[in-house]
Amino acid sequence: MDDNIYIEDFSNRLVHLRQQKNVSARDMSLSLGQGHSFIHSIESGNNFPTMLNFFYMCEFLEIAPKDFFDYGKLNSARMATMIEQLERLSDEQFDSIASVIEHMNA
């Protein structure tokens, strides 16, 4: 298979996750301790991160590395936050939320 497809998928996913976090490519680059065009060069397909930089990118995006490639979880950071909040609910509160979700998905 053509490697360009993988690079394009990776780049598109990075753009999506970065925009979801509402941060510019420049700001993300600088936050990672890189040059101002680091993320842009990856998103444009001109560069590819090392494994270490990939882990730093995931940490910045607040996602697990496996979630970076889980395209079905477009809101994985938001989902993780919601799960943390759900875990703090009482049984009664949790049942109420579960009922609302069931009705919304019916």
Looking at the chain, the whole-number percentage of residues with pLDDT higher than 90 is 58
Domain count, the chain: 1
> For position 50, which CATH number holds?
1.10.260.40
pLDDT tens for each residue of 86-100: 999 999 998 999 899
* Cα gap 26→84, rounded to integer Å: 30
pLDDT band at 14 (very low <50, low <70, confident <90, very high): very high
* Cα gap 100→98, rounded to integer Å: 5
Structural domain range at position 26 = 3-104
pLDDT tens for each residue of 50-73: 999 999 999 999 988 988 887 665
* Cα gap 11→3, rounded to integer Å: 12
- Whether the predicted pLDDT of 3 surpasses 90: no
